[in-house]
Homo-oligomer: A and B are copies of this chain.
Amino acid sequence: MDLNTVIGTVLVFLLVLVAMATGPGGVGIFIHPASMVIVLGGTCAVTMMAFPINDLKPVAKVMMVTAMRKQSTPSEEIDRIVSYANLARKEGLLALENKLQTVDDAFFAKGIQLVIDGFGADTVRDIMELEAEWEKQRHESGKKILEQMGAFAPAFGMIGTLVGLVQMLQDLSDPGMIGMGMATALLTTLYGAMAANMVFLPLAGKLGQVSKQEVLLRNLMIEGIVAIQSGEKPQLIKEKLKGFLAPSARTVVETV
């Protein structure tokens, strides 16, 4: 799992919790399960309305995988491809089969399998590009769903607050009750703002960044696998793939 996403998530929740805890009343006055249900439940329910179930299922999976798996860097991928190219040149393409079990990236594994199975270069490229295109669409779909949830959450926060305000305004005789009613009504707006700005919108941004990086990695892998198949020299493959690297990252590979 990507470390700075974890740290960021822990940090932001900690910050808000401390702010709640240090005030009069403690964290307890901010916990109101019914308000949480209306904001989160409402957001999830209208997301169900807006997206076909076929879109929601793979997206949930994609989000989990994205959050859990540590994305490899382009330099690491180049190193792996070069070591596979070395193996293929020394012991033949079939020698790659033993290595396949250790590959945890399904896309890379599928590409190597296609090479082992003896498909032509164009077929390998076509199949993998289509695969990469579908993967990109799943990521974009997931980003859009998270952005929608980031828009619906504050709306349900507001709906909850309006419901609370209308209820509170029925009886203005007890000033103490007014404050409590108002505080409870405001909690849904707070939950909506927190859900959008501390969960949905940062995750949507993250998914977008991961997707951009993934597209680069996928293109790098496709070029690399096709080059392995054609039996190019490992050193040449490394030179070619370095075009995918930012200038600052190039020296890192150079010295490997």
Residues of A whose CB lies within 8 Å of any CB of B are: 2-5, 7-9, 11-12, 15-16, 19-20, 22-25, 29-30, 34, 37-38, 41-42, 45-56, 58, 71, 73, 130-131, 134, 138, 148, 152, 155-156, 158-160, 162-167, 169-173, 175-176, 178-180, 182-183, 186-187, 189-190, 193-194, 196-198, 201-203, 205-206, 209-210, 213, 243, 246-248
Contacts and interface: CB of A to CB of B under 8 A. Distances in A.
A182 to B, nearest CB: 5
Q: Which of A52, A152, A164, A173 has the most CB of B within 10 A?
A: A52
Contact of A8 (B11, B24, B46): B46
Q: How many copies does the complex hold?
A: 5
Q: Which 5 A-B pairs have the closest CB atoms?
A: A8-B48, A50-B205, A8-B49, A12-B45, A23-B167
Contact of A19 (B50, B55, B163): B163
A25 B175 CA distance: 18
Contacts of A158: 193
Contact of A9 (B7, B11, B49, B169): B49
Q: Please classify the interface of chain A as helix (H, G, I), strand (E, B), loop, or mixed, using the class held by over half of its residues.
A: helix
A45 B16 CA distance: 11
5 contacts: A15-B42, A155-B197, A159-B194, A162-B190, A165-B186
Nearest to A156: B197
A52 B30 contact: no
Nearest to A205: B50
A52 B15 contact: no
Contact of A25 (B130, B170, B183): B170
A16 B2 contact: no
B152 A197 contact: yes
Given A38-B15, A42-B12, A49-B5, A171 B179 contact: yes
B73 A23 contact: no
